[in-house]
Amino acid sequence: MPASPKAALLGEGAPKIAIAVDLYDWHARDLTAAFARAGALATPIRLAQCGFDTQRKHGLVIHGFGSDLPDAVFVRAIGSGSFESVTLRLSVLHALRDLGVPVANPARAVEICVDKAATSFALAHAKIPTPPTWAAQSTDAARKILRREISRGPLVLKPLFGAQGFGLRLIQSEDDLPPIEAVEYVYYLQRFIGPRKDVYSDMRFFVSDGKVIGAMIRRAANWITNIKLGARPEWLEPDDALTALALRASSAVGAQFAGVDIILDADGAPQVLEVNSMPGWRGLQKVAPFCVADRLVRDFLKHAGRAPVEEAPTSSVERVA
């Protein structure tokens, strides 16, 4: 995964940034180019190739940096793997931060957000409106929840570790509950928020360093409103109340940047569905009047104490609570 050719011309004084990725995909290329425009040398790395070596000066192996450490780490993805391998990757992120390397998002925020139950707990604990949610580790416990709750409306079954709308199921009776091995032995259930006026939509807010830098409405032909699965993005200029809610949700999980999903219930009241600590922005970029990656990079470098060479243009949606 080579660095951008532009970044290679920046010289020794340029900040050396590691971008943790899974694949060198559109997002990785977009970020690498944005860092180069900001005067930083970005090197995509895979956390799967990193590890510990207590014989080294810093005790870490960061692929692509030799015996050195990066000046900062932007976490775009940690990659799939066994429980042990993912734990090790998160431990590397924890260690980097312990060594004084700015990491965004920090490992703790990633841990909370990749675990939907932990996200729901963090939101509820912060008194942020979010649909009622349950997590159970046995079929009997899940069936008891359904017997108690299904009369009030359907529930959504989601993979505890999942993204991009894959694996979601609408549960309207006990018969809809799959075998526990099909859900990796955890049932994560959330109250279904149905469409208003038969229109399936929700909102994605993109938070960066304490600001909402962009937002969109996602409209779909069915109740799964993910862009990857065919939803249509529309630019949104949010009001102050929704902006403040998105910022509170991001803060509740400790994220420096985040994708916050909000839906309006039958009464028009907003409910925070999820917070994503490694959000994609390809859908938002289709409707945004500015370069999302430039904004992310600018905020990231400022937060890391590495101010960018040039200021990227601000967006009309940028708001601070």
For 239-271, write each residue's pLDDT tens digit: 999 999 999 999 999 999 999 999 999 899 999
Residue 2 has pLDDT above 60, yes or no: no
User: What does the pLDDT read at residue 167?
Assistant: 78
**Same domain assignment for residues 212 and 296:** yes
H helices of the chain, in order, are 5-8, 26-37, 83-98, 107-114, 116-125, 139-149, 240-252, 282-287, 292-303
Q: How many CA atoms lie within 13 A of 112 on its CB side?
A: 21
- CATH code for the domain of 286: 3.30.470.20
Residue the block writes with tokens 């991009």 = 164
Taking only the tens place, the pLDDT of each residue in 101-155 is 999 999 999 999 999 999 999 999 999 999 999 999 999 999 999 999 999 999 9
**Same domain assignment for residues 60 and 147:** no
Task: Please check whether residue 181 lies inside any domain of the structure.
Answer: yes
**Same domain assignment for residues 213 and 283:** yes
Share of the chain above pLDDT 70, in %: 90
What range defines the domain where residue 180 resides?
A: 132-191
Task: Please check whether residue 127 lies inside any domain of the structure.
Answer: no
Task: Please check whether residue 318 lies inside any domain of the structure.
Answer: no
Task: Please check whether residue 97 lies inside any domain of the structure.
Answer: yes
**Same domain assignment for residues 207 and 233:** yes
User: What does the pLDDT read at residue 312?
Assistant: 47
Taking only the tens place, the pLDDT of each residue in 210-220 is 999 999 999 98
- CATH code for the domain of 144: 3.30.1490.20
**Same domain assignment for residues 211 and 255:** yes
| Amino acid, single-letter form, for residue 119 | T
Q: Specify the pTM.
A: 0.89
Task: Please check whether residue 316 lies inside any domain of the structure.
Answer: no
User: What does the pLDDT read at residue 176?
Assistant: 94
Length of the chain: 321
Taking only the tens place, the pLDDT of each residue in 294-309 is 999 999 999 999 876 5
**Same domain assignment for residues 93 and 184:** no
Q: How many domains does the chain have?
A: 3
Q: What is the mean pLDDT of the segment spanning 166-186?
A: 91
286: Cβ contacts below 8 Å, ≥ 6 apart:
233
User: What does the pLDDT read at residue 10?
Assistant: 52
Contact between 200 and 225 (Cβ < 8 Å)? yes
**Same domain assignment for residues 176 and 205:** no
Q: Token pair of 16, please?
A: 């050396």
**Same domain assignment for residues 257 and 218:** yes
Residue 319 has pLDDT above 70, yes or no: no
Residue 88 has pLDDT above 80, yes or no: yes
**Same domain assignment for residues 207 and 299:** yes
Task: Please check whether residue 184 lies inside any domain of the structure.
Answer: yes
Taking only the tens place, the pLDDT of each residue in 90-99 is 999 999 999 9
Task: Please check whether residue 91 lies inside any domain of the structure.
Answer: yes
- CATH code for the domain of 54: 3.40.50.20
Task: Please check whether residue 116 lies inside any domain of the structure.
Answer: no
**Same domain assignment for residues 186 and 219:** no
